[in-house]
Amino acid sequence: MAVGQETIRVDGAAKVTGKARYTDDFQMPGMRIAKYFRSTIAHGRVKSIDVSRAKALPGVDRVFTYEDVPDIMFPTAGHPYSLDPAHQDVSDRLLLTRHIRYHGDEIAVVVARDEVTARRALDLITVEYEEYPPLLNSKDVLAEGARRIHPQSGNLLAQHGFTTGGDAEEAKAASQHLIRGEYSTSIVQHCHMENHTALAYMDDPEHVVIISSTQIPHIVRRIVSQALDFPLGRIQVLKPYVGGGFGAKQDAVLEPMAAFLTMALGGTPVRLTLNREECMVGTRVRHPFEMQVGLGLTDEGEIKFIDFDAISNTGGYASHGHSIPAAGAAKVHYMYPRAVYRCHARTIYGNIPTGGAMRAYGSPQVHWGLECAMDDVAVKLGLDPMDLRLKNVARPGDLNSLSGKKILSCGLVECLQKARELIGWDEKRASLAKEQTGPVRRGLGVSSFSYTSGTYPVCMESAGCRLILNQDGSFAMQVGATEIGQGADTVFSQMAAKTLGVPVGWIRAVSTQDTDVTPFDTGAYASRQTYVGGQAVMRAADRMRTNILEYAGLISGHNPADLDLAEGCIVFASQPGTLVMSLKDLAMDAYYDKDRGRQLTAECSYKTRTNAPAFGCCAVDLEVDLELIKVRIKEIYSVHDSGKIMNPINARGQVHGGMAMSIGAALFEELLVDEKTGRIHNNNLLDYKVPTIMDVPDLNAAFVEPFEPTHPYGAKALGEPPIIPPAPAIRNAILHATGVAINHMPMSPKVLFKAFKSAGLI
């Protein structure tokens, strides 16, 4: 059947032929272009601004400054919303600001007839600043008497502390070995292909439409309502195809302003688009972390205690910052669930670009800390890193400390065993056991991970699907979950096709979400599409199946219970080869019979009240060229337990993409902050290095597939996890190759040079 089979993407042809419509493909008569005027300091206050020359430029419609926007503080994080005020997102920003919090902060906005005019107008704006020293790192930010970046809250945005799995002191006491290490990560950019862009207009004096490249149309609708104090039911958000987001579009970055502008201009269509340079700095980034990891082990290598402490720098605004270190730290525990886990996570403001959601949401940072520490302790105790993990990782029946429920499906042991076998771990480690000399050293490393499928029970999880039987027997399928390039529409089509007994091609996923009519779903994040969205798809499809068989019973005179759907036909359940009628004939009767029938539709809005951890690991075989300070990956294997794989082509693609991103983050990706000014040196794709085809080795993805009982098709998360384990595995392989523990990511040539030099290797 459709689920589990290699299935060509349903949006593939539209995308490769250029027919798929993205936000910038929407144009409107009379449309105006808006551009932000951004600060050229990282911290301070605007003393005065002069926009008169900009306003006077022919072709400029309007110029708005911080003085012209509503005095409404709003949040931007793409969370589902919580009825508990303590769990709501942080409202810490206005549409434009006089108080500058990062280099590039939005002070004013120009609306003009075209982009050239808008840019020329920006050049005519003059501003006088009162400048403060930028607070770029935790030491400065948290220093006694440090200037408050947000006066109302202070510089410590949030902190979370908890201990789970038992008593920390007892666990410590039971540990024969206690070690600590410090680990850190840098600012990483999503580098999605399609820049942030939104187009807003009014089609009624009381109704605003926003077409946006977003992962979260229904959440954007709610946030725009908050930001503008405008009724939610009068805001319509349309999400066409999206050219990647990776979390950067799980944030209401542009939409509140786009809506404000069209409303201020009496409904004139306004397009607000960022260029690449603005996207790199003025949207969202991955938070840099400073971590301290303590591990307590027995002589036998049993981990009794994990002590995790992190400081995350969210930059100028909260966005997702308050929740990310806690989220990342919480999800790591069920990798080693039998240890006592003590966690302390703080998020600070800083005068750097704003951190937001990014693929795996804190987990790459937390796993960097923990999985580096694992190999550090393995070295110290003389244990094989693979054996150390196999001894300690989760097994079915262990407790998921996040949900308080048992882990039902868990293939992490099998993942590690498969990786061990695929990479030839034992033979190679044995052959490399003697000390290596010479300019090229070789090493093997491994890292494992755990993650969640959606956000429950931390957040509400809701998904929706509606199916319509067309006259020709095909189906239209509306899902609230959003296709952003990850292949969600394909997997949903497969699921619906399986339940309805039709070929995948008979399901047409309506890929443009429209908050006026698309069933509610909070969007694409938290690797929730298949696991959470699939629940609604399955239920809607099952209802549709029931509707069809009941109608088939009505018009054929057979008992619906004796009928089944197969290959687009109604057949006898007991004789699947015997046709009762085709689905098309049934549909035509339902639509067009004068005296019976109706349009057959089925809808399901469903809150998922389960979660299921996904697991996996990565194993790397690499060479370190000490003279060239170059890391050459010879072989790399990521093995995932994401439950049953819905579409192997898609799944491999997800894993390959995550591996490439993690390799980039491991070895060279970082936004470089000028230590004096807070300015980002490499705000473009020439200077910010993402892996090219020359940097990416052959990528190997493998799966173990336990059936996850809480999901109708047995699936668990797969979208984000692939980005987690490669970086620490590479680090651990470098450690194996050179004996040098690199504790900072990225392990750029600069970092490696310094480390090798101080280790006396060069």
- Count of beta carbons in the 10 Å neighbourhood of residue 561: 10
Of 121-129, 272-280, 404-412, 593-601, the window that binds a second copy (rule: CB under 8 A) is 593-601
Structure tokens at 476: 């239209």
Distance CA 554, CA 147 (A): 74
Q: Which of residues 205-224 bind a second copy (CB under 8 A)?
A: 205-207, 222
Can you tell me which residue has the tokens 């060069």? 762
Q: Could you give the 3-state DSSP secondary structure of residue 622? A: strand
Smallest gap from Cβ 606 to a second copy, in A, equals 6
Smallest gap from Cβ 538 to a second copy, in A, equals 15
Question: Quick one: 298 or 546, whose CB is closer to a second copy?
Answer: 546
Question: Quick one: 239 or 342, whose CB is closer to a second copy?
Answer: 239
Smallest gap from Cβ 61 to a second copy, in A, equals 17
Smallest gap from Cβ 327 to a second copy, in A, equals 16
Smallest gap from Cβ 523 to a second copy, in A, equals 14
Q: At what angle do helices 363-381 and 324-332 cross, to 10 degrees?
A: 40
Of 51-59, 318-326, 368-376, 596-604, the window that binds a second copy (rule: CB under 8 A) is 596-604
User: Sign of dihedral through CA atoms 501, 506, 511, 517?
Assistant: negative
Question: Quick one: 185 or 493, whose CB is closer to a second copy?
Answer: 493
Backbone angles phi, psi at 153, to 5 degrees: -130, -15
Question: Quick one: 188 or 504, whose CB is closer to a second copy?
Answer: 504
Distance CA 435, CA 185 (A): 29
Q: Could you give the 3-state DSSP secondary structure of residue 83? A: coil
Q: How far is CA 542 from the centre of its chain?
A: 30
Interaction pattern, residues 640-679, with a second copy; x per rule: CB under 8 A: ----------------------------------------
Provide the H-helix boundaries in 528-642: 534-556, 583-592
Smallest gap from Cβ 321 to a second copy, in A, equals 22
Smallest gap from Cβ 25 to a second copy, in A, equals 7
- Count of beta carbons in the 10 Å neighbourhood of residue 83: 7
Residue type, 292: Q
Structure tokens at 28: 């409107």
Q: How many CA atoms lie within 13 A of 122 on its CB side?
A: 19
Distance CA 746, CA 761 (A): 20
Concatenating the DSSP letter of every residue in 493-509 gives HHHHHHHHTS-GGGEEE
Smallest gap from Cβ 575 to a second copy, in A, equals 27
Interaction pattern, residues 569-588, with a second copy; x per rule: CB under 8 A: -------------------x
Smallest gap from Cβ 222 to a second copy, in A, equals 7
Which of 138, 197, 225, 611 is in the footprint of a second copy by CB under 8 A?
A: 225
On whether the CB atoms of residues 450 and 614 are closer than 8 A, the answer is: yes
Q: Which of residues 172-211 bind a second copy (CB under 8 A)?
A: 202-207
Question: Quick one: 190 or 466, whose CB is closer to a second copy?
Answer: 466
Distance CA 755, CA 742 (A): 7
Backbone angles phi, psi at 81, to 5 degrees: 95, 145
**Binding status of residue 591 toward a second copy by CB under 8 A:** yes
**Binding status of residue 603 toward a second copy by CB under 8 A:** yes
Distance CA 636, CA 726 (A): 8
Distance CA 657, CA 273 (A): 26
Smallest gap from Cβ 46 to a second copy, in A, equals 35
Can you tell me which residue has the tokens 């490399």? 432
How many residues sit close enough to a second copy to count as binding (CB under 8 A)? Answer: 71
Of 9-17, 574-582, 655-663, 731-739, the window that binds a second copy (rule: CB under 8 A) is 9-17
Smallest gap from Cβ 250 to a second copy, in A, equals 17
Q: How many CA atoms lie within 13 A of 645 on its CB side?
A: 20
Smallest gap from Cβ 320 to a second copy, in A, equals 18
Q: Which of residues 417-456 bind a second copy (CB under 8 A)?
A: 456
b vs e for 576-614, b when ≥16 Cβ sit within 10 Å of the residue's Cβ? eeeebbebbbbbbbbeeeeeebeebbbbbbbebebbbbb
Provide the H-helix boundaries in 341-487: 363-381, 385-392, 412-423, 425-431
Smallest gap from Cβ 599 to a second copy, in A, equals 4
Question: Quick one: 506 or 688, whose CB is closer to a second copy?
Answer: 506
Distance CA 363, CA 289 (A): 11
Distance CA 108, CA 52 (A): 12
Provide the H-helix boundaries in 104-210: 115-123, 138-142, 168-173
Q: Which of residues 604-623 bind a second copy (CB under 8 A)?
A: 605-607, 609
Can you tell me which residue has the tokens 């666990």? 171
Can you tell me which residue has the tokens 């220093």? 143
Residue type, 362: G
**Binding status of residue 129 toward a second copy by CB under 8 A:** no
Q: Which of residues 450-509 bind a second copy (CB under 8 A)?
A: 456-457, 459-462, 464, 466, 468, 470-476, 478, 506, 508
On whether the CB atoms of residues 210 and 239 are closer than 8 A, the answer is: no
Question: Quick one: 218 or 333, whose CB is closer to a second copy?
Answer: 218
Question: Quick one: 72 or 510, whose CB is closer to a second copy?
Answer: 510
**Binding status of residue 598 toward a second copy by CB under 8 A:** yes
Which of 1, 56, 193, 232 is in the footprint of a second copy by CB under 8 A?
A: 232
Smallest gap from Cβ 461 to a second copy, in A, equals 8
Question: Quick one: 203 or 674, whose CB is closer to a second copy?
Answer: 203
Question: Quick one: 471 or 546, whose CB is closer to a second copy?
Answer: 471
**Binding status of residue 234 toward a second copy by CB under 8 A:** yes
Distance CA 366, CA 361 (A): 10
**Binding status of residue 596 toward a second copy by CB under 8 A:** yes
Element (H, E) at 9: none
Residue 238 β-bridge partners: 211, 514
Element (H, E) at 204: strand 197-204
**Binding status of residue 592 toward a second copy by CB under 8 A:** yes
Which of 48, 71, 83, 577 is in the footprint of a second copy by CB under 8 A?
A: 83
Provide the H-helix boundaries in 110-161: 115-123, 138-142
Which of 299, 435, 595, 627 is in the footprint of a second copy by CB under 8 A?
A: 595
Which of 52, 67, 82, 167 is in the footprint of a second copy by CB under 8 A?
A: 82
Structure tokens at 82: 């919580």
On whether the CB atoms of residues 230 and 239 are closer than 8 A, the answer is: no
**Binding status of residue 267 toward a second copy by CB under 8 A:** yes
- Count of beta carbons in the 10 Å neighbourhood of residue 302: 17
Q: Which of residues 11-70 bind a second copy (CB under 8 A)?
A: 11, 13-14, 17, 19-21, 25, 27-29
Question: Quick one: 116 or 517, whose CB is closer to a second copy?
Answer: 517
Of 397-405, 424-432, 517-525, 565-573, the window that binds a second copy (rule: CB under 8 A) is 517-525
**Binding status of residue 600 toward a second copy by CB under 8 A:** yes
Question: Quick one: 242 or 645, whose CB is closer to a second copy?
Answer: 242
Question: Quick one: 567 or 695, whose CB is closer to a second copy?
Answer: 567
Smallest gap from Cβ 644 to a second copy, in A, equals 26
Of 132-140, 429-437, 515-523, 691-699, the window that binds a second copy (rule: CB under 8 A) is 515-523
Smallest gap from Cβ 223 to a second copy, in A, equals 12
Which of 91, 159, 417, 601 is in the footprint of a second copy by CB under 8 A?
A: 601
Distance CA 390, CA 384 (A): 10
